[in-house]
Amino acid sequence: MSRTFVGMPAFPVASAKAVGDAQLRHNLHKATHTIRGKRALVVGEQPDWMELRSAGAAIKDRVLRHLDVYLEQLEAAVTRAGGHVHWARDAAEANRIVTSLVKATGETEVVKVKSMATQEIELNEALARAGITAYETDLAELIVQLGDDLPSHILVPAIHRNRAEIREIFQRAMSEWGRPAPDDLADEPAALAEAARLHLRERFLSAKVGISGANFAVAETGTLVVLESEGNGRMCLTLPETLISVVGIEKLVPTWQDLEVFMQLLPRSSTGERMNPYTSMWTGGVEGQDFHLVLLDNGRTDVLADQVGRQALRCIRCSACLNVCPVYERAGGHAYGSVYPGPIGAILTPQLRGFATELEESLPYASTLCGACYDVCPVEINIPEVLLDLRAKVASSGHHRAERLTMAAARRVLSSPALLSAAQRTAGRFRRLTPRRLPGPLSAWTDTRDVPAPPRESFRQWWERRESDR
C-alpha cells in the first residue's frame, strides 16, 4: 500500500536531494508564493488581526492549562448527545480502536475526510493490514494516494505536484482504485477536478463507514467542527451509517463562542479566504448515525509538560508558516520526514516523537531563525523560541562530541580579548594563505561561497593604534 515516513534520512540529506529537483522547486515556489500573497491580502484587510491572534493564543492556552477539565466536559457532552468516546494513549491504541470499530460494522471499505491525526498515526496502513481499504476523498489526498506518494504540506498534501503530473497520476492509477479517468483527460484544473468528482461520487454513495478528524471540538456542547473547501467532507460526515472521528486532545475550545475567533483566523491564514466554504458541525451523530470519537494523545501530554515547547499545541494546522518559510519552499515537505512539515513540523515532530533518530535531531536546525513563521502564526507560536530550546536539548544530548568540543574551543577564544586578539594577529599575518577551500565541516561554506580574506589589522588593533597616536 502507500508509503510511510518511517526511516527517512536526516533533514540535510533529504533537503539536499529536494533542492536539486528543479521541477519540485518550480512547483513549490509557484504554489507557496500564490497562497502567501492571498493570505497577506486578506489578513491585511482585518484591522484587529493582532488582537484576534492574541485571542486565539489565549483561548488555546486556557484549554491547555485546564485540559483535563475540558476533556471530561467534552466526553460528557458527546456521550449525552448519543456518541461514544474512546481514549487512545498512542498511535497503536488508536489504530486498534478504529480497526475494531470498522470490523464490527462488517465493512471492508471506508471513506475519509482529510485528517492530520489519522495521517500521524498511519491509520490507512493499519486498516490495510486488517483487510480494510481506506479511500481518501480530499482532492489533494486523492492525488497523494493514487500516486503512492507521501503528503508534503498540511493543507495541500500534493503541493509538490503540478497539473501535468496530476493528470498523469489520474490516468495511470484511477482505474486501480475505481472509476478510471477519461481517456482524453486534459491537464486543466476544471477537467482534473471533474475526473476526481466522478471517481469519488460512487464512493460517497456506497460507503457505510466514514472516518474524519476535526479542526475543533467544543467542550461545552460536545460539537465537532470540520472546515474544508470541496464538500467531500460534508458527504463523508453525513452519508455513512457509522462515523469515526480521530481527534488530538489539543483540538478543544472551551465554548461555542470561542469558535468565532478561530473561524476568522483559520480560513484567512490557511487558504487565504475570508470565510470557509464548507464548515460542518455535528453534536453526537447525525440522525440515526453511530458516532465514535477517538481522543488521541500520542505524545501530546509530553509536549504539554514542556514549558517552552507546549505552545506548539496551540497549532490549528493552518499552514501559514509553511507557505512563508524560505527553507520549506526550497526543501519541500518530504524532507521533514513527517506529516507535519515546515516550521511547525520542525518543532512538533521532535516533541511528539522525541529525539528518536538523526532525523528528529536535525529538525530543530532546519531553520535560519528568520522569524517569518512567528510573524504569520495565527496563534502566536514563537517557533524560533521553541527551535532554540530544542537545539539546546540536542546539543546537551551528548551525541555531537566533535561539535561540542569545537564550540567550547571557540568559546574560549571568543571570551578572551587576549586570545581573540592573538588569533586576529595570526590570521592577519597569514592572510595571503587564506584557503579557497576550507577544511572539515566548513568546506560546506566554500562549496558555494568565497571566504573574505582576514584584514591586515583588526578593529581593536586599529583602535589601539589610534588611541596611542592621540
Partner 1 sequence: MRVALFVTCVNDTLFPGTGQATVRLLERLGCTVDFPSAQTCCGQMHFNTGYRDDARPMAQRFGEVFEGHDVVVVPSGSCAAMVREWYPTLGVQPPGGVYELSEFLVDVLGVVDVGAYFPHTVTYHPTCHSLRSLRVGSRPERLLSEVRGLKLLPLGGAEECCGFGGTFSVKNPAVSAAMCTDKVRHVLDTGAEVLCAADNSCLMHIGGTMHRQRAGVRTMHLAQILASTEEDPS
In the complex with partner 1, the residue whose CB is nearer, 186 or 445, is 445
Residue 175 phi, psi (nearest 5):
-65, -25
Shortest distance, CB of residue 458 to partner 1, whole angstroms? 6
Q: Which of 12, 178, 182, 254 binds partner 1 (CB under 8 A)?
A: 12
Q: Which of 6, 7, 20, 433 binds partner 1 (CB under 8 A)?
A: 20
Q: Which of 176, 448, 468, 470 binds partner 1 (CB under 8 A)?
A: 448
First and final C-alpha spacing in the chain:
79
Amino acid making up residue 464: E
Q: Which of 180, 330, 357, 358 binds partner 1 (CB under 8 A)?
A: 330
Half-sphere exposure of 208 (CA within 13 A, CB side): 10
Query: Judged by CB under 8 A, which stretch of 44-52, 56-64, 351-359, 395-403 contacts partner 1?
Result: 395-403
Contact flag: residue 173 with partner 1 (CB under 8 A): no
Contact flag: residue 468 with partner 1 (CB under 8 A): no
Contact flag: residue 40 with partner 1 (CB under 8 A): no
Q: Which of 15, 137, 223, 338 binds partner 1 (CB under 8 A)?
A: 15
Question: Which residues are registered as beta bridge partners of 227?
Answer: 279
Contact flag: residue 355 with partner 1 (CB under 8 A): no
Contact flag: residue 407 with partner 1 (CB under 8 A): yes
- Torsion sign across C-alpha atoms 188, 151, 308, 315: positive
Half-sphere exposure of 420 (CA within 13 A, CB side): 11
Q: Which three cell numbers stand for residue 418?
A: 587576549
Tell me which H or E stretch contains 133: strand 133-136
Residues with Cβ within 8 Å of 294's Cβ and at least 6 positions away in sequence, in order, are 86, 87, 88, 94, 97, 98, 244, 245, 246, 247
Q: Kindly write down the DSSP assignment for every residue of 339-370, as one continuous string.
A: SS-HHHHHHHHHHHH-S-SHHHHHGGGS----
In the complex with partner 1, the residue whose CB is nearer, 187 or 358, is 358
What does the alpha-carbon distance between residue 118 and residue 130 come to, in Å, rounded to a whole number?
A: 16
In the complex with partner 1, the residue whose CB is nearer, 157 or 384, is 384
Do 140 and 116 contact (CB within 8 A), yes or no? no
Do 259 and 238 contact (CB within 8 A), yes or no? no
In the complex with partner 1, the residue whose CB is nearer, 32 or 115, is 32
Shortest distance, CB of residue 377 to partner 1, whole angstroms? 12
Shortest distance, CB of residue 332 to partner 1, whole angstroms? 10
Chain centroid to CA 384: 16
Within 300-329, the residues that bind partner 1 by CB under 8 A are 326-327
Amino acid making up residue 308: V
Contact flag: residue 69 with partner 1 (CB under 8 A): no
What does the alpha-carbon distance between residue 385 and residue 58 come to, in Å, rounded to a whole number?
A: 18
Do 155 and 315 contact (CB within 8 A), yes or no? no
Tell me which H or E stretch contains 233: helix 232-238
Q: Which three cell numbers stand for residue 269?
A: 491564514
Shortest distance, CB of residue 9 to partner 1, whole angstroms? 13
Contact flag: residue 441 with partner 1 (CB under 8 A): yes
Contact flag: residue 457 with partner 1 (CB under 8 A): yes
In the complex with partner 1, the residue whose CB is nearer, 263 or 420, is 420
Within 408-427, the residues that bind partner 1 by CB under 8 A are 408, 410-411, 414-417, 420, 423-424, 427
Contact flag: residue 198 with partner 1 (CB under 8 A): no
Q: Which of 219, 372, 379, 383 binds partner 1 (CB under 8 A)?
A: 372
In the complex with partner 1, the residue whose CB is nearer, 229 or 461, is 461
Q: Which of 106, 433, 452, 470 binds partner 1 (CB under 8 A)?
A: 452
Contact flag: residue 25 with partner 1 (CB under 8 A): yes
Q: State the burial class of residue 168 (Cβ atoms within 10 Å of its Cβ: 0-12, 13-18, 19+).
A: middle
Applying CB under 8 A, which residues contact partner 1?
Answer: 11-12, 15-16, 19-20, 25, 326-327, 330-331, 362, 364-372, 374-375, 385, 388, 391-396, 403-404, 407-408, 410-411, 414-417, 420, 423-424, 427, 441-442, 444-445, 447-452, 454-455, 457-464
